[in-house]
Amino acid sequence: MQHLPNLSETLTAFHSDLNRIQTMAGTLSQLDRQHYNDLTKYDDERLTGIAVAEQNSSRQLGEIKQLCLAMAQKIEEIQQSMGQK
């Protein structure tokens, strides 16, 4: 099959990109969590509102991280079934 080398390279690139996205999402999630902790130390409604937004952002980034991990795992399974790893 002529398209398999391209598929192999594409899967490898997807896997690498998913790992990068997962790392970025994890880092940003940690920063948002820290911002939440920092902002909730003050008795200010506006800062509390910002803190809640940071907390929601942290959760969403955590979900993105988990999705990336699951997709990267699926790509590894496909590569193994193709005899690439």
10-66 confidence digits (pLDDT tens): 999 999 999 999 999 999 999 999 999 999 999 999 999 999 999 999 999 999 999
The total of structural domains in the chain comes to: 1
Residue at 68 is within a domain: yes
Dist CA 79 CA 13 (whole Å): 12
5 domain residue, yes or no = no
Give the pLDDT score at 60.
96
Closest to 60 (Cα-Cα) out of 33, 40, 83: 33
pLDDT score recorded for residue 1:
45
Neighbouring CB atoms inside 10 A of 31's CB total: 14
Residue 45 lies in a domain: yes
Q: Which secondary structure element, helix H or strand E, spans residue 85, and what is its range?
A: none
**Which structural domain, as residue segments, surrounds residue 25?**
15-84
